[in-house]
Structure 1
Amino acid sequence: MRYDVSLLLFFTMGLISIAECSVARDSTQIITETKSNALVFRVGEDRKLYQSYLGGKLANREEYQKIGRRRNQVYIPAGTDNLFEPAIRLVHNDGNPSLELEYADATSNRNGDIISTSIRLKDPRYPVEVLLHIEGYYNEDVFRYWTEIRHQEKKPIPLSNFASCMLHFDAPHYWLTQFHGDWASEMKMKESELTSGIKIIDSKLGTRTQMYQTPVFFLSLNKPATENSGELIAGTLEWTGNFQFAFEVDELNSLRVIAGMNPYASEYWLKPGENFVTPAFTFAYSNAGKGNASRKIHDWARNFGVLDGTKPRMTLLNNWEATFFDFDEQKLSQLFSFASELGTDLFLLDDGWFGNKYPRDNDRQGLGDWQENITKLPHGLGHLVKDAGSKGVKFGIWLEPEMVNPKSELYKKHPDWILKVPNREEHYYRNQLVLDLVNPEVQDFIYDLVDGLLTKYPGIAYIKWDCNRMMTNTYSPYLKNKQTHVYIEYVRSLYKVFDRIRAKYPHLPMMLCSGGGGRTDYGALKYFTEFWPSDNTDGLERVYMQWGYSYFFPSLALSSHVTSWGKQSLKFRTDVAMMGRLGYDIDVSHLSSADIRFSQEAIKNYKRLSSIIWQGDLYRLVSPYEENRAVLMYVSKDKSQSVVFSYNLNTRYAETFNKVALEGLDPRKNYKVEEINLLPDAKSAYPDNGKTYSGDYLMKNGLELSLNSALTSAVFEITEI
């Protein structure tokens, strides 16, 4: 057997199976291993479960026994002797607010390269159990960790803390890299040292929950990790709602990391026999820097985290910046021709196509009334699908199914379908309110909308699913006296709708959008082929945003469009968009013939090289946070091809840059260097263009990849010969 990742329980007297297990003197170990890492738990003499190790895999498994007896209880409850933030807190039927968790048993199974371990903890005095679920993805070197809480008391019990995961670390110093922002300024990266006390990254926004904080982080141990050195974990939560990461350093300098749903306003009354399942916390450990951890997350995401992550994506043309709400069939037909002329695969019709009594001519009305507007589209969507197809272009459509304008037929017909606090003024954001998705009738309404469109117009080949506001003044008419359930049940209900859609339309490409980057998580991405990182498509600012997203999401999941935002050249904006899933949202009629020729050639280059960009290993070579430029490269898995992107980020003046050493190539192979994406009739200004070098030379000596002119960019194809 190539490797053994089965769950093993070691006793001092030898190896025994789980079925034979009974706890013995501080010696039972539960080991989950991946290709190069291990997570090890130990059952103590007090029958409690402790984390004894997280790090590089040991060659001799028995040596995990020699690791010191750390008192890091795996899932610490509230109410007994715990002095810090707990993983779980509840109150029993008799009013007792304490919980003790002792090890009961563990089971394990293996499905291909995935080892799944379930550990049952139980209270010795009350019928309460917590199941810890850990998955180790062997080839991807990634762990997933979530919990399941259940009880058999006579009445419901309130849960006020319910973490997915608690991890423990012991190091002299800890450095946290977080990602934050706002509309049009998403994914700003900030690194700081953790000191005594607690640091919380969270969201309380419900929908569009990641507007300010993105549920991803790096935690570096000992010193700040670089791209290629340092010990760290990269973590993210698979949840499309309120989340919380808590980092607590005690006076002994031990660190607890607690990840899960945000308990804010979410006390959950758990019924007897009901299972409360938390979302998975997914993380990768690395002792070779952020780039190594990032590539692990990318491999996992393509295989397990993103819908159809190993399959191709379509290029598209969106009408939004060309028309906004002002369009008709004639304008759209012309845009279909433009999409065909450019060479894109798909045309996406954005907001404004629906509503009759309250026509969607602006964002103040019509949302929720999902019938074609007969003034703009007298022949309906079917005509558009057919017209686009006649020009060799597929047709996609924008939806915002979770929302409603007060000025709509839906609002007047179903006031009980809306989240709003009674006896208070309605609070609007973008002139709209959130539907009460917890209500099964609303779930049916949204599913029927999507299913109805796809059934009536089977030629629809793509959906952009938007969500343009967060929850405020939140009250669910359906939940009545269980309002503390609304934030959790809303997301669960959203997943129910997605499950139904995917059961019938398993591979329909869909973009996850939320007023920009308000939803960028793997809880939703398993239903979507890609997400919209930001409404800000300024090429210069997108370099920083896409750099941040690239740490945790593979390029094929990032929708990156060429638009009119920004003062950079069309080439610069195109080169930036080619780092992700390429699209266009631009008025093509305003492009010159030279611009169209350039764009056509760029799309051909992108399609030819997209498998490397989407499926290759990403190496970030020069960070825009460290120099006035950014350089990165994608390398095919067999190291035969690479695509290098280089950007001069100076906006005013010239600057001379050093050579850049490439990474990820085979030192024994020879590679030809060729600049692509040149403007029509232009010649490369780079001295290495057209030359051949060994991989060893390219990774040690490097190339000149940056001109000294401000706001310039270059794309290089590196090919084995």
Structure 2
Amino acid sequence: MKRLLFLLTLIIYSVMEAQDGALISIETETSALVLKVGKNKKLYQTYFGTRLNNGSEYEFISKENTKKFVINDGNPLIDLRHSAYPTFGTNNLFEPAIRMTHNDGNPSLELEYQSYSTEKIDENTAETIIKLKDPQYPVFVTLHYKTFHKENIIESWSEIQHQEKKSVMLYNYASSALHLDADKYWLTQFYSDVVEEMRMEESQLTRGSKVIDSKLGVRTNMFAAPSFFLSLNSKSGENTGEVIAGSIAWSGNFKFTFDIDNNNELRIISGINEFASEYNLEPGTVFKTPSFIYTFSNQGKGQASRNLHDWARKHGLKDGEKPRLTLLNNWETTFFDFDQTKLSNMFEDAKTLGVDMFLLDDGWFGNKHPRSGSTSGLGDWQATKTKLPDGIGFLMQKAKETNVKFGIWIEPEMINEKSELYEKHPDWVLTLPNREKSLYRTQLVLDLCNPKVQDFVFKVVDDIMQTESGVAFFKWDCNRMMTSAYSNYLKNQQSHLFIEYTKGLYKVLDKIKSKYPNLPMMLCAGGGGRVDYGLLNYFTEFWASDNTDPFDRIFIQWGYSNFYPALAVCNHVTSMGNQSIKFRTDVAMMGKLGFDIHVGGLKEDELKYTQEAVANYKRLSPVIWKGDLYRLVSPYEDSRAVLMYVNENKTQSVLFSYTLHPLTDPNYGLVKLNGLDPAKRYQVKEINIMPKGKAVFEESGTVFSGDFLMKIGLKVSSSKGENSVVLEITEI
């Protein structure tokens, strides 16, 4: 009896003490992150999950957590498991968010809570700022949490500075430390390679550390994407389960560490990869980390994706709520073999297709070393006189006369040894002293740490924009990673290279965005090797992969759909693969549609189909670009893929069904639709049918209730391999 009374007293005391401590609630419409100050002045995370209606009850979420943070202050095996921004050098036994050495040689850091404030930026956005300080050294860390209420997104980043007499050395500098308590953890990661981007792989996390990172310098995600899903307790489905979706907004080396301790508690440390990047921080200088962007969903991965899409269109993507341009690219038709007459004729092809723009790809520049292949010309951004005697201004004028817009390809961060630029400025290249040059795709990387190189790269864009009326669109490519990286500009601070290169790139893009705020640009990197929300702040869209085979593209585009909205993902109809023009076009319509085909080589019925498909796409693009995405059948789980987009007021939807490679007659069953209004009535009509072709969807034109479509469903798939069905669903 005495023991029971003692335990009750202990619990009551814990709750009372918790109520007395500073409680910081960071909330969105449906989620909450709660931080608490212990009586040792340390800051802890006590909760992350579904938002409570009564905020005062966050104190009662877990009596065990309350005891950890209040009564047991000072026990490193208990307290510091949930440290909001864990340090290194004193009693932290786990992965740190920050590690430094002071100028007196002391390798330790402690951080005590100082104050916090919350500023309401607008009706939907607020920022909570928490100030921490070392009690013995003038080192200050400020934690930032920016919330987007309706989108249920949190952005976290940190700012580190000091007032010591000399510089300090930073070894770790995370953007965020997030703590989770569950029985089990399931990680969905996205691995990549050239022509195999954004492939999903799910596994259960076990004790110890799991690291996903990049050491490529330039291309963030050639091997691993900077985004993940983390499911709690059990595998999450599209519509069920608790899941966190996270992504880092950094365009250089990134790192996620998933660390499960002996008590089965998980911490996720996110930020810049500190590998080979120790940083000398001068007194008074602020080291700002990139944003870790994350969302919590208790309704599965589908809702987490829709949260990110909503946020991206409004806040994460350049011009995310503006229309996109459909286009015809010349690459697969001409490669490097073209002249201004051939290109001018292709403007008519773009008009025939009904697209908005013609995009001139690689091979238009260089004179002393003309760009006739991949080995020369990069760095010399003047039109090749033998190909374009009247310059790109002539092409701009011809496009205008044809009533199509004109876009152009550049790769301004890279250089060939066979170029006038390299002959003049070999010191502008990243290359090791006393070593052979490390070429990849016959290219070297320009040193964007150097302000002169930054000015040069900006001038590439500025000069083109100052020609005639300028171009309507840039495709910005980056075809290699850093190897043997050494900056002549940085001299004795080579460990700053990976960070300063990315900052230099952002400086260039800031200047471009400031001078040309409405200029659309496509982000490309040897395919989809460079996709993140750091760069998408400057780019309207990205090239998903150099693999345009529609079978493979279904998996690639499916992977990207988890984190990026449809209008950001560029999909082109090309000659790659042996599938029908219908299948290739229907797959490309899942995102931002473009073409890279020889229009004159199309058969009459293929051209007629394509023209009709482009007209359908333009009519329905607001639904695809701005609608809520529902992934209905995964190609990872079936021999088909089915997804649909639904507009905001649930009056219109577009459904795409792609049959892959079924081994036998699949006899596909009904697919339950999602996102519609059960009280509305919808006409379901198959579109994108080949001339003289027959509809696969036998009930085309029939009216159904939203209730029926979502509870019973429809047969939406062809049983034939590499076949597709597109349904337009409209409220009656």
Q: Does 1:75 align with 2:69?
A: no
Residue 25 of structure 1 deviates from its aligned partner by 7.8
Could you tell me which residue of structure 2 aligns to residue 168 of structure 1? 179
Partner Cα distance (1:652, 1:408) in 2:
52
Residue type of the partner of 1:662? L
SS of equivalent residue, structure 2 residue 263: coil
Deviations 1:491-540 (A, max 9, x none): 00100000000001001110000011111100000101000110000000
Contact 2:213 2:256 in 1 (8 A): yes
Match of 1:96 among 100, 106, 124: 106
Of the candidates 421, 433, 440, which is equivalent to residue 410 of structure 1?
421
Equivalent position amino acid for 1:549 in 2: Y
Q: Please give the residue correspondences for 1:234-633 in structure 2 after superposition, counting only pairs within 5 Å.
A: 234-633=245-644
The residue that corresponds to 2:52 in the other structure is 58
User: Do structure 1's residue 34 and structure 2's residue 28 form an aligned pair?
Assistant: yes
Query: What amino acid does structure 2 have at the position aligned with 1:61?
Result: G
* CA RMSD, 1 decimal: 1.4
1:7 maps to none
1:3 match: none
TM-fit CA distance, 1:608: 0.1
- Code of the aligned partner of 1:59: N
Once the two structures are TM-superposed, the CA of residue 685 in structure 1 deviates from its matched residue by 2.9
Question: Within 2, Cα distance between the matches of 1:651 and 1:228?
Answer: 26
Counterpart code for 1:93 = N
Q: Read off the aligned partner of 2:38 and give its amino acid letter.
A: G
Q: Tell me if structure 2 keeps the 8 A contact 1:653–1:709.
A: no
The residue type equivalent to 2:93 in the other structure is: L
Query: 1:484: how far off?
Result: 0.2
1:428-460: per-residue Cα shift (whole Å, max 9, x none)?
Answer: 001000000110000000111111110123241
Q: Distance in 2 between matches of 1:32 and 1:164?
A: 17
Point out where structure 1 has 5 or more consecutive residues left out of the alignment.
Answer: 1-11, 15-22
8 Å CA contact retained: 2:118, 2:128? yes
2:194 to 183, 187, 194: 183
Partner deviation per Cα, 1:604-662 (whole Å, 9 max, x = no partner) = 00000000000000000000000000000000000000000001101665321011000
The separation in 1 between residues aligned to 2:724 and 2:437, in whole angstroms, is 48
Return 450-459 or 167-176, whichever deviates more. 450-459
Q: Which amino acid aligns with 2:39?
A: E
Q: Secondary structure at the match of 2:526?
A: coil
Q: 1:658 pairs with 669, 675, 680, which one?
A: 669
Structure 2 counterpart SS, 1:609:
helix
Q: For 1:190-228, what per-residue CA distance to the aligned partner results, in whole angstroms no more than 9, with x for missing partners?
A: 000000110000000011121111100000000010000
Deviations 1:237-264 (A, max 9, x none): 0000000000001111000100000001
Cα displacement string for residues 652-686 of structure 1 (whole angstroms, at most 9, x for unaligned residues): 65321011000000000000000000001223132
**Offset at residue 345 of structure 1 (A):** 0.2
Unpaired stretches in structure 2, ≥5 consecutive residues: 1-12, 69-78
**Secondary structure of 2:115's match?**
strand
| CA–CA distance in structure 2, aligned partners of residues 644 and 298 of structure 1 | 18
1:181 is displaced (CA, Å) by 1.6
Aligned 8 A contact 1:237 1:280 in 2:
yes
Distance 1:479 1:355 in 2: 29
- Match of 2:3? none
CA contact (8 A) 2:220 2:226 kept: no
Alignment check: 8 A CA contact 1:653 1:710 kept: no
For residue 109 of structure 1, what is the amino acid of its counterpart?
Answer: E
**Deviation for aligned residue 1:688:** 1.8
1:109 matched to 2:109 = no
Partner residue, 1:19? none
Q: Distance in 2 between matches of 1:502 and 1:82?
A: 43
CA distance in 2, matches of 1:686, 1:503: 49
**Which deviations, in whole Å up to 9, do the C-alpha atoms of 1:126-175 show, x marking residues without a partner?**
00011000011001111000000000001111101000000001111000
Query: Percent of aligned positions with the same letter in both sequences?
Result: 57
Residue 284 of structure 1 contacts residue 293 of structure 1 at CA under 8 Å; is this kept in 2? yes
8 Å CA contact 1:639–1:665 kept in 2: the answer is yes
What letter is aligned with 2:411?
Answer: E
Contact 2:697 2:725 in 1 (8 A): no
Alignment counterpart, residue 37 of structure 2, candidates 21, 36, 43: 43
User: What amino acid maps onto 1:30 in structure 2?
Assistant: I
1:287-317 per-residue CA deviation (whole Å, 9 max, x = no partner) reads: 1100011100000000000001011001000
Is 1:87 the counterpart of 2:97 in the alignment? Answer: yes
* Cα offset, 1:547, TM superposition: 0.4
The aligned counterpart of 2:692 is 681
Report the residue type matching 2:49 in the other structure.
Answer: G
Deviation (angstroms), 1:24: 9.0
* Counterpart Cα distance in 2 of 1:685 and 1:73: 57
Contact 1:32 1:115 in 2 (8 A): no
The count of corresponding residues between Structure 1 and Structure 2 is 703
Aligned residue identity for 2:432: V
1:647 to 639, 658, 661: 658
Give the distance between the partners of 1:529 and 1:440, measured in 2 at CA. Answer: 26
Q: Which residue type is aligned with residue 308 of structure 2?
A: I
Contact 1:217–1:236 (CA<8 Å) still a contact in 2? yes
Report the residue type matching 1:106 in the other structure.
Y
Deviation of 1:84 (Å): 1.6
1:122 aligns with 2:116: no
Distance 1:655 1:67, change over 3 A: closer
Of 651-660 and 570-579, the range deviating more from structure 2: 651-660
Aligned counterparts of 1:336 and 1:456: Cα–Cα separation in 2: 19
Determine if contact 1:25/1:45 at 8 Å carries over to the other structure.
no
| Structure 1 contact 358–407 (Cα < 8 Å) conserved | yes
- Contact 2:188/2:200, CA 8 A, preserved across alignment: yes
Task: State TM-score, norm by structure 1.
Answer: 0.96
Q: Which amino acid aligns with 1:597?
A: K
SS of aligned partner of 2:535: helix
Q: How many Å separate the matches in 1 of 2:177 and 2:232?
A: 17
> Which deviates more, 638-647 or 649-658?
649-658
Partner of 1:150: 161
Cα distance in 1 for residues equivalent to 2:384 and 2:88? 56
The 3-state SS of whatever aligns with 2:135 is: coil
How far apart are 1:330 and its partner, in Å? Answer: 1.3
* TM-score (norm. length: structure 2): 0.95
Report the Cα distance in structure 2 between the residues aligned to 1:29 and 1:516, rounded to whole angstroms.
46
Q: Secondary structure at the match of 2:509?
A: helix
Aligned to 1:228: 239
Matches for 1:131-150 after TM superposition, within 5 Å: 131-150=142-161
**Residue type matched to 1:162 in 2?**
Y
